[in-house]
A and B are shown apart, each in its own frame.
Chain A
């Protein structure tokens, strides 16, 4: 079965712009979680969606937002980009029964210049 698909793989944006990242979960998975990974901070939880509802949110500013569609695909949006937003953004999908069932995508590498 197809894995978790994240697009685009790489992205370069300038400060002040906004960006939308996409995540298509494994077929049948209803939970999608987003993480930011930076060398200094490691992996940090952004938010988790289940059946189109945000179920959990991490400690990120309001510039970071997301949504989930009825087909479980999820998008993450970052507005007014800052240099510090440069990171690998990982999406993980699961049936919704807990993180041991997570399957991660390969991520989107965002560089803000």
Chain B
């Protein structure tokens, strides 16, 4: 059965800390891995990763994919209270670029 597993399920840190969120997957015919941030209801797109070892970066957020070990990490440096959210990882497979298999998410709480 195809699955995407995120860890930890929840995380509480203080402002300024660096956090690493994990996403591992077991899917047939992997195509791409995506990270989303969900603050209230609507998830917003962060990164899409298709190639191993190439870091994607956006400000204090960065992500990398390891296709050999079947996982990705999302790093957030110098965390701010506005980073508090649920971070979702999703995978696409095969010819279906449109059907996402989602992890359960990591709930990140940043304390001031």
Seen from chain A, the residues whose Cβ lies within 8 Å of a Cβ on chain B are 3-4, 31, 33, 35, 41-45, 48, 55-56, 58, 88, 90, 97-107
* Residue from A44, A55, A90, A104 in contact with B98 in the complex, judged by beta carbons closer than 8 Å: A55
Please report the number of residue pairs spanning A and B whose Cβ atoms sit closer than 8 angstroms. Answer: 65
B96 and A104 contact, CB distance less than 8 A: no
How far, in angstroms, from A56 to B95 measured CA to CA in the complex? 11
How far, in angstroms, from A41 to B88 measured CA to CA in the complex? 13
Query: Which residue of chain A is the closest to B92 with respect to CB atoms?
Result: A99
**Contact A58:B98 (CB < 8 A) given known A100-B45, A104-B44:** no
**Contact A90:B42 (CB < 8 A) given known A42-B104, A43-B88, A43-B102:** yes
B42 and A99 contact, CB distance less than 8 A: no
Query: Which residue of chain A is the closest to B98 with respect to CB atoms?
Result: A48
Seen from chain B, the residues whose Cβ lies within 8 Å of a Cβ on chain A are 32, 34, 40-45, 48, 88, 90, 92, 96-105
A42 and B41 contact, CB distance less than 8 A: no
Task: List residues of chain A with CB within 8 A of the CB of B98.
Answer: 31, 33, 48, 55-56, 98-99
**Contact A107:B41 (CB < 8 A) given known A44-B102, A98-B97, A99-B100:** yes
Task: List residues of chain B with CB within 8 A of the CB of A103.
Answer: 42, 45
Task: List residues of chain B with CB within 8 A of the CB of A97.
Answer: 97
